[in-house]
Amino acid sequence: MKVLSLALSPASRSIRPPTSSGTPGRARQGRGSDRREWRFRYSLVFSVTGTNRISTGGKCLDAESNGTANGTRVIWWACGSGTNQQWTFQPDGTIKGVQSGKCLDVRQAATGNNSVLILWTCSAANNQKWTRF
């Protein structure tokens, strides 16, 4: 098993941990001198399996309701074997859903805390580029 953290590029925001199944995937940001501490304390540590599920605490990033359309919410859900929970890490920094072929995207390129994660046609825009560290 590989352990990694994911942050939106530039690496100033990370994916927020889930509180329960159905919790929307969200991006959060640290502030000023707290940014480093925030990452240490709250940056989500993921395990990536052979099927490239992104998981923590028994929850996996999941395309809601097996959705494949632009705008489908990406939520945390109990890990299963569905391709709506499988992702591939692309060389350009995007993360592509196996089932949809769409990229993990911060909705409307939002920059605030709790910005919602969705599926969107891959464009390699900054709101779709992720850094593994």
Burial of 59 (0-12, 13-18, 19+ CB in 10 A): buried
pLDDT band at 5 (very low <50, low <70, confident <90, very high): low
Question: Residue 29 maps to which CATH number?
Answer: 2.80.10.50
- Between these two residues, 130 and 118, which has the higher pLDDT value? 118
Domain count, the chain: 1
- The parent domain of residue 36 ranges over 2-132
Q: Is residue 132's pLDDT more than 60?
A: yes
Query: What pLDDT is stored for residue 13 in this prediction?
Result: 53
Name the average pLDDT for the chain.
Answer: 73
Which residues are paired to 89 by β-bridges?
Answer: 95
Return the DSSP state at 35: H
